[in-house]
Amino acid sequence: MRARYVIPAFAAVAALLLTGCVDNSTPSAGGSTEAATVAPDAAAVALLPADIKSSGTLRIGTDAAYPPNEFKDDAGAPIGWGIDLANAIAGKLGLEPKYQIADFDNIIPSITGGTVDIGESSFTDNLEREKQVDFVNYFNAGILWAAKAGSDVDPNNACGLTVAVQSNTVEDTDELPAKNAACAAAGKPAIDVLPYTSQDEATNAVVLGKADALSADSPVTLYAISKTEGKLEAAGESFDVAPYGIVVNKDSELTKAVQAALQSMVDDGSYAKILDAWGVTDGGLDTITINAAANG
């Protein structure tokens, strides 16, 4: 659940990338790295704004550093189940996807500024963001912690622990500050939050013993666990489930077109096929909604 607004000041983490603790290679199985093959949906195409339809392309902003949702293959191209969904949305709209890989903080300004059409980067739909942009909701994700295998870390009793997160995710900006407020109210030591610029760095921090646990979106945590070859395990169960949304400029006609494209994918099974390929079917939806935070 990524909720970035402020560019982090943390940079002294590059050494972790040299440890080899996490296998960061492109997956050989468990998900397609190709655009989903879907036919255009006439109803969705009819809803497209004229300028986007005539351009023939759908400009998609993503921060490809959040595996397995959005990350890069060995050639630096964006892949992941979120990218597969975005490719299929473009296909349903009869458009060619064109990616702009950017810092997460810059994606919403790019959308409101008109240089990107949509954002697909595991954005959590929340009321504060809905003041700026609209969300086409496509998945429900919870928060899930991970810790070293055999540890007794409890997310509900975390005061005094050191917890790694990806900078400015919901875990960083909302979850852990709320937990720290509760620690302070109870007279207990604060959680030491270690923000990193990528999820791999946060995962390595736990593997290397620099942090007691990590907190991330449930599909991201499960993927991180799978890549550490038994070094990490889930700590507790998923909690605070919230919707992901494709970001579209406020009150744009494109919002309804993206909703129609995704609903067509749900109805014809292509949506479920993508989620199943990446092992994330538990968060799938039957009905594609708009601005679930306000309307749910």
Q: What is the pLDDT along the chain (296 residues), one digit of tens a residue?
A: 554 333 232 222 233 333 334 444 444 334 444 444 789 999 999 999 999 999 999 999 999 988 999 999 999 999 999 999 999 999 999 999 999 999 888 999 999 999 999 999 999 999 999 999 999 999 999 999 999 999 999 999 999 999 999 987 889 999 999 999 999 999 999 999 999 988 899 999 999 999 999 999 999 999 999 889 999 999 999 999 999 999 999 999 999 999 999 999 999 999 999 999 998 988 999 999 999 999 86
Using alpha carbons, select from 247, 260, 246 the residue that is nearest to residue 48. 260
- Residue 39 structure tokens: 């036919």
Residue 193 DSSP symbol: E
Give the three-state DSSP class for 4: coil
Residue with tokens 């959005």: 70
Element (H, E) at 243: strand 232-249
85: tokens are 């969904």
Question: Residue 2: what pLDDT?
Answer: 52
Structural domains of the chain ordered from first start: 25-141+242-295 (3.40.190.10), 142-240 (3.40.190.10)
Q: Which of 69, 95, 93 is nearest to 274 (CA)?
A: 69
Distance between CA 124 and CA 135 in Å, rounded? 9
**pTM for the model:** 0.81
Query: Both ends of the chain: CA-CA distance in Å?
Result: 17
Helix (H, G, I), strand (E, B) or coil at 83: helix
Residue 27 is classified by DSSP as P
Q: Can you tell me which residue has the tokens 């005094």?
A: 160
Name the H helices within the chain.
42-46, 50-55, 81-92, 104-112, 127-130, 170, 176-185, 199-207, 218-227, 254-268, 270-277, 292-295
By three-state DSSP, how is residue 186 classified?
coil
